[in-house]
Amino acid sequence: MNSSKKAKSALISVFNKDGLQPIVEKLNNLGIVIYSTGGTEKFIKDLGINVIPVEDLTSYPSILGGRVKTLHPKVFGGILARRENENDITQLNEFEIPEIDVVIVDLYPFEKTVSSGASDEDIIEKIDIGGISLIRAAAKNFKDVICVSSMNQYDAFLQIMTDNNGNTTIEQRKNFAAKAFAVSSHYDTAIFNYLNNEELAFRKSFDTVSTLRYGENPHQKGYFFGDLDALFEKLHGKELSYNNLLDVDAAVNLITEFKNDPPTFAILKHNNACGLAQRKTLKQAYIDALAGDPTSAFGGVLISNKEIDAETASEIHNLFCEVVIAPSYHKEALEILKGKKNRIILIQKNIELPQTQYRTALNGVLFQEKDNKTDNSAVINTSTLVAPSDRELEDLFFASKICKHTKSNTIVLVKNKQLCASGTGQTSRVDALNQSITKAKHFNFDLNGAVMASDAFFPFPDCVEIAHNEGIKAVIQPGGSIKDQLSIDYCNSHKMSMIFTGTRHFKH
């Protein structure tokens, strides 16, 4: 069997005509017969190029409001016929079916229609039937047919036609077939996820991929599947790495807790906040966030809930950091931050983040709803005789937000809406508390009057006792231990306040 095939005819039926003209002109110059339908047919005719309407081939008009145009044996027979099979060729001749060697088809914009907020009726009409069938047929018969299933493939296809005078190799056709099935599977996944309300199934597909410099370590390959451009506008700096993206993800989720608050600045390292403060000005919020752990801030990811001004940018510029994220930048601030050529500067766009999370585990995938609960005054229960003051209550909720986005086991210490320190990823709650106290003292924080947040309950009163000995006056925790009363009794006997939220915020 000859693996190289000379294209003699092509079927073109596309929704989006952008970039199609050079291909049509090239096929015409190569003497390739073109079949087409509807708007694509008109587009080709307007270029002054001969085109055969599919209706002339099938002897049937487009019917049912355009739902049925190409679904006919004379179309699919010409695509699916095996050129080396004598019976197939005999039947083509018997029924006067021309061979179709090239299929150029795209699909109705289903995902774009869904995201536009269109009606259910309009969305259903954007479920492509003829196009998806043509793509699958042409891709199945890649031994004889080349299938161009997306405008993203136009340049590569045009180059092949130009370089090889209309010939394609089996390797090229197989490669395009794989791309075609990627297009069709992604499309079907989007439709399933839109329609599905009851079936418990994991279906995810991304048609955009970025090759990263490497994975978590230099000896690992790394890729990002998704559309970063939908979430960020990159203004400056090197390409984001695998580890950058993990930190950026953590930063974006954390700052969402403070989206509508006064100026708030966070610094993250290895997915955890090492500094966070809220102040009247963004400059002071940054300075106080940095004071939380200036050592860990080196090489970190910085994020703000407000536009970064020139004064704040001047402070940031003194720190080596990998990424800066904000909703916007003052012109002068941007010029200052661009002073480091590799510093990545991102504008975070105002779009809704996904409401589900998943990760690989063992030989499958763990899937869960996002933790969207935020502790507030409506859900708390004061468990002690002494209630927290208004100032302490503000700090407790502030600490709880940070705690929710810090690796378990964790303890977070806050004073005056400033992160003093946190204990992260420890195997015991006592270790987490001792780590946070040690760090706070190392950076000269006075914990007298500070508050403490825990991501899970205290099984023993040891943590509240350690906290009390450091001058910590108020505690927020979920409660739920069979020995809660031991911690409550200790707080009562030492005039500490403790509130229960009823919600655990583990983050593993």
**Which are the catalytic amino acids?**
140, 270
CA–CA gap between residue 155 and residue 303 (Å, rounded):
39
CA–CA gap between residue 54 and residue 34 (Å, rounded):
10
- Measured in Å, how far apart are the chain's first and last C-alpha atoms? 56
Closest CA to 358 of 349, 346, 367: 367
Query: Tokens at residue 362, please?
Result: 């063992």
Nearest-Å Rg of the Cα atoms of the chain is 31
Distant-in-sequence, close-in-space partners of 202: CB < 8 Å, separation ≥ 6 = 358, 365, 367
CA–CA gap between residue 117 and residue 361 (Å, rounded):
35
CA–CA gap between residue 332 and residue 407 (Å, rounded):
36
CA–CA gap between residue 159 and residue 23 (Å, rounded):
10
CA–CA gap between residue 265 and residue 319 (Å, rounded):
14
| Mode of pairing for the β-strands spanning 146-148 and 364-369 | unpaired
CA 53 to chain centre: 42
Beta bridge partners of 267: 275, 302
* φ, ψ for residue 161, nearest 5 deg: -60, -40
Residue pair 382/499 in contact (Cβ under 8 Å)? The answer is yes
CA–CA gap between residue 233 and residue 76 (Å, rounded):
44
Cβ neighbours of 371 (radius 10 Å): 15
**Residue type at 317?**
H
Query: Tokens at residue 375, please?
Result: 């502790």
Distant-in-sequence, close-in-space partners of 155: CB < 8 Å, separation ≥ 6 = 19
Beta bridge partners of 265: 277, 304
**What is residue 388's three-state secondary structure?**
coil
Contacts 24+ apart (CB under 8 A), 190-198: 190/110, 190/111, 190/114, 191/110, 191/127, 194/110, 194/114, 194/123
Q: Residue 277, exposed/middle/buried by CB under 10 A (0-12, 13-18, 19+)?
A: buried
Closest CA to 322 of 405, 389, 243: 243
Calculate the alpha carbon distances from 234 to 226, 308, 321 in Å: 15, 15, 16
Matching residue, tokens 């196009």: 131
**Residue-by-residue DSSP string for 134-159:** HHHHHHHTTTT-EEE-SGGGHHHHHH
